[in-house]
A and B are shown apart, each in its own frame.
Chain A
Amino acid sequence: MNLSSFRARGLSLSFTFGIAYFCACTGTVQRPDGPGGGDDPRAPKSPNSPQPPGPRPEGPVVVDPNAEKGVFDFHGEGFDGLARISSMEYRNILTDVFGAIPAQLSLPDDEGDAAGTGFVGQSFAMTDTAFAAYQTAAETVAAALLDRPLSDKLNCDLAKGDRACVEKFLDTFAARLLRRPLDADGKSQMLGLYDRARTEFTATAREAAALVIARLLLSPQFLHKIEPEAGASSNEPRLVHLDAFALASRLAFFLWRSGPDSELLAAAQSGEILKPEVMASQARRLLADPRAAVVIQAFHAQWLERGHLDEAQREDPRFTEALKTAMATESDKFVKHVVFDGNGGLTDLLTARYSFLTPELAKLYGVPSPRGVDQPTPFDASVKRAGMFGHASFLAGHATERDSNPITRAVTLFERVLCRELPKVPPNVAEMEVEDRLSHPVCGGCHRSFEPLGLGLELYGSLGEERSTTGRKVDGNIADSVEIDGVFTGSEELGRRLLSGVDGPYCYARQWFRFAVGRVEGPLDVSSMNDAVEAFRSAKLDVRELLISVVQTRSFRTRSERPANEQRTCTTSI
């Protein structure tokens, strides 16, 4: 592994922003040919300069997953603060602990997942508007819990709000909410709040109880992902090991987007979770829970930019809302089936010749009507479609209103599936036909390196339907992508080509790694990533085994700490 190369590529992260967006607007992508780009000798040569695509360098290439809003939009390596729990996580924790929660929760809207649609754009720092929203939400939840029959868990009537019952409430639920036991000081302060409300503000018992519950839900330990350390890493002083409770939380947030359950907390309490084999067994347990399926579906939706399908508009009258929903559902069911009911591997994700179709979608694909929407529909030999790249959710999501869009398909495959990097598109480029830009003396070099990835999928039209002609005189002849060079046609061939090389599986594992640790990888993550990839290969590309290996890596079990000269003390900060 060439670490310096790795770092230099990592530094160029922010320069890929905008390319896919620009492509969507113009239908063309070109190599930079003005000052500061391409082969121009005036181009800056600093490590921050955008790099033209070329042969795959030694070691992994770092691309910016934040390049486009909506996919892997996590905080990068530079952020070392305490992330807030997202609104989705807030709801999930409360639902797991208390069952149903009020639907009208006034949670912060600045995270992009307020509707529970994904894990994108999680904010890092608390703001006054966010805190005010949490305050309102906490009061709403507190009022609802007082009317909830929790007596089977508390053996007392919380609605009456008497002090002993409030104390029992804290003993029973605080650890689940805070993801670690409430210490004696904390409990004393909360009960002190109860007493003060009763005596100083003449609050009713019920009002005082509501105040304590709201206080718990406004705790920094609830709203932030606090990760105390359990000592420095033996061979890397910048890294500190997470303590057992923080590790349990990280695992639960990764696989459930929620807090740890009682069993996981018990493993943390005993310290067992710190043992790699216990971590692995807990990960297997969490993966067996339906909550994990939702997370794994969401990963794949973000990986292949499902959000574009939500926004898609087509002139074709077949493109109804029902068909759009069927497209998204197909991919979700397919992923769940492959990972949990099938062989669990990337091989099937990319090449399986079956899927989950509604009658409308089956008609679009030209296959017989399905036996049932939950039954896999096999594709016969005449169907030129396989794996996720053959799903209409991907193909229609990367198309224009009237036609396919080979560039957006190619860019997605190049950046997200191969983890390669494209330079920023220069402003004011002219639109050109495919043949012209591929043969263009300035633009062609770049375009030939990635655009064939989309041209090889020209078999599929604007809705993802199979078609016999495109009117274009070019095919998917990949020229400069090293491992997968050559002509290909259709999704199955693309899937097999990717699986036959190193880049495809490696990139897939990398994307999961980022999803797990919530940031772009850095130099200190190289060994962890390689460990995960090795385990992935050994397990014949089994996705579940990949996730289990990721949570055992050093990167997952540690966090970075600032150098001594940049450290702050609590005296000055709080």
Chain B
Amino acid sequence: MSLTHINRRKFLVGASSLPLALPLLPQVTRAAPASGVKNLIVFWVPDGSPTDPAGSRKTLLARHRKNVAVITNSQHTAYEREYGSEEHPNGPRTLLTGGQNGPDRVANGVKVPAGRSADQIVGSVLGGSAIFPTYELGSWGSNMKDGVRYISFESRGKPRVPSYNPVKSYADLLSGLAPSGNDADALAARERTRRTLLMRGSLLDSLVPELKRTCEAVGSSGRDSLDAYLTSVRAVEKRTKAMLEQGMGMASPSALPKLDNRWGEAAFYQDDKNFNVVGEANMRIAAAALAAGTTRAITFHWGTTGPTTVPDWLPNRKLKGVYHHRLSHPKEHPKDVSFADRQMLYQWYEEQLAFLLDRLAEIDMGGQTLLDQTVVLRLSESNNNGHATNDLPVSVSGGSSVFAVGSDHDLKGRSVCDVITAVLQGLGIQMDALGRPDSNAGAYTALLR
């Protein structure tokens, strides 16, 4: 696989999409003028990290020190308010929604309206003209067998399902792109892509008459499902059209990640031994997609909380075959896996973050790097001493013209929602607070320059 350089492309962002987004988002708008930071990546790691996360993170991210703000002593207050701290599988869904993942309700005397996750807010405000306003991907290994848990929510009860299959991610985000240049090969490739996209559009058009006929047959109870089908077709149609209008000449195929088709097999990407390979492929795809502008907001999931994934890809033999419980419940299994062994796993996640930052930093966007235009929010729903919700391992990277990176921030127990709100503000989104009213104190503005 190789990814060396991606040319800068300019895309229409913000202004043209705003009229569409506004009716749905009375309280969330794009500030003017727009900041130079226009992309978001949420880099989510399950089950936190062992004690001393800040020290190890600072070491591991040393080469990116000027681009990283290490944040200590933040609290996952919304999770505690919603569920207490025992039911840790619910931690992720409360993280980016600030606990507004349930129905409109009054909880403990506090009015909690249903809401959506921060990445979806970014996608709806900044990603209107992108082919995928948001995209969810990651590496989950064998967690698929244990069912899925989400961090990104369009609205209450509507989670966004990540793509764990790198071949699918590639097909969605990058396969419709055609090379730039005026040589014969590039022209021919663009023509082939154009024709393919036109035929796809024609195919999607042809589904509608069948839907109408089918609707008559299914009775009332099936019509909601056909509505959902039609909505899905329209969404894909819109993307196809956008790809046709914007995708021509976006990026050179030689600059895109090269994948082995075998990686598209579930047996491959759900194998814990390939957790690292799949993650790396999807990180490269994420960077290329942001560079091409096919999406604006990405959530990257490394597994899921309470994972059944075992870190078999690591060289540490002591961790072979060891799964969630023995790794992340050290109080219950104090002798099973040493602190140093566990530390190795979480250090590995920090190395992946550094790898992603490397990919973003090496892409030239014309005077800026992609990392300059992107803010990477590293989150976890807990720290790793019995799923405690204090001192979450949080960092903010990139977007150095807007964010106070290169320094450390002690939140002194403030909600992690306040960090997320500051990130949204840094992206130029006018929003005072995120999440349950009793779980935030407004944006942590020290994060902004």
Segment among B198-206, B362-370, B411-419 that sits at the interface with chain A? B198-206
Segment among A112-120, A156-164, A455-463, A514-522 that sits at the interface with chain B? A112-120
B211 and A574 form a contact (CB under 8 A): yes
CB neighbours of B230 from chain A (8 A): 574
Chain B 280-316 interface mask (CB, 8 Å, partner A; 1/0):
0000000000000000000000000000100000000
Does B264 have its Cβ within 8 Å of any Cβ on chain A? Answer: yes
Given the contacts A127-B161, A313-B326, A570-B212, A82 and B218 also touching, CB distance less than 8 Å? yes
**Tally of A-B residue pairs with Cβ under 8 A?**
202
CB neighbours of B216 from chain A (8 A): 570
A220 and B144 form a contact (CB under 8 A): no
Question: Sorted from nearest, which 9 A-B pairs have the closest CB atoms?
Answer: A128-B235, A567-B220, A81-B225, A104-B264, A131-B232, A82-B225, A570-B215, A80-B221, A69-B147
Segment among B13-21, B164-172, B244-252, B432-440 that sits at the interface with chain A? B164-172
CB neighbours of B215 from chain A (8 A): 570, 573-574
CB neighbours of A201 from chain B (8 A): 195, 198-199, 202
Q: What's the least CB distance linking B206 to chain A, in Å?
A: 5
Q: Contact check: which of A109, A117, A136, A211 meets B171 at CB < 8 Å?
A: A136
Given the contacts A110-B161, A203-B199, A193 and B211 also touching, CB distance less than 8 Å? no
B207 and A218 form a contact (CB under 8 A): yes
Does B228 have its Cβ within 8 Å of any Cβ on chain A? Answer: yes
- Cα A573 to Cα B207 with chains together (Å): 15
Given the contacts A189-B209, A192-B206, A311-B323, A126 and B232 also touching, CB distance less than 8 Å? yes
B210 and A186 form a contact (CB under 8 A): yes
Q: What's the least CB distance linking B276 to chain A, in Å?
A: 19
A124 and B144 form a contact (CB under 8 A): no
B267 and A115 form a contact (CB under 8 A): yes
Q: What's the least CB distance linking A324 to chain B, in Å?
A: 11
A127 and B232 form a contact (CB under 8 A): yes
CB neighbours of B203 from chain A (8 A): 193, 211, 214-215, 218
Does A381 have its Cβ within 8 Å of any Cβ on chain B? Answer: no
Segment among A221-229, A283-291, A346-354, A494-502 that sits at the interface with chain B? A221-229
CB neighbours of B163 from chain A (8 A): 109, 129, 133
Does B351 have its Cβ within 8 Å of any Cβ on chain A? Answer: no
Does B348 have its Cβ within 8 Å of any Cβ on chain A? Answer: no
- Cα A574 to Cα B223 with chains together (Å): 8
Residues 472-528 of A at the B interface (beta carbon under 8 Å): none
Given the contacts A70-B146, A70-B147, A115-B145, A131 and B233 also touching, CB distance less than 8 Å? yes
Does A106 have its Cβ within 8 Å of any Cβ on chain B? Answer: yes
A228 and B323 form a contact (CB under 8 A): no
- Other than the given A81-B228, A125-B228, A189-B210, 12 more pairs (CB < 8 A) read A106-B165, A109-B161, A132-B236, A211-B202, A224-B222, A228-B219, A310-B308, A401-B326, A428-B84, A560-B221, A568-B224, A574-B212
A561 and B264 form a contact (CB under 8 A): no
Q: Contact check: which of B145, B210, B228, B235 meets A310 at CB < 8 Å?
A: B145
A114 and B161 form a contact (CB under 8 A): no
A226 and B168 form a contact (CB under 8 A): no
Q: Contact check: which of B147, B225, B236 meets A224 at CB < 8 Å?
A: B225
Q: Which residue of B lies closest to A400 (CB)?
A: B325
Does A236 have its Cβ within 8 Å of any Cβ on chain B? Answer: no
- Cα A574 to Cα B84 with chains together (Å): 44
Does A262 have its Cβ within 8 Å of any Cβ on chain B? Answer: no
Given the contacts A70-B146, A428-B86, A562-B221, A106 and B168 also touching, CB distance less than 8 Å? yes
Q: Contact check: which of A108, A127, A223, A561 meets B221 at CB < 8 Å?
A: A561
Does B231 have its Cβ within 8 Å of any Cβ on chain A? Answer: yes
Does A269 have its Cβ within 8 Å of any Cβ on chain B? Answer: no
- Cα A307 to Cα B146 with chains together (Å): 8
Residues 402-423 of A at the B interface (beta carbon under 8 Å): none
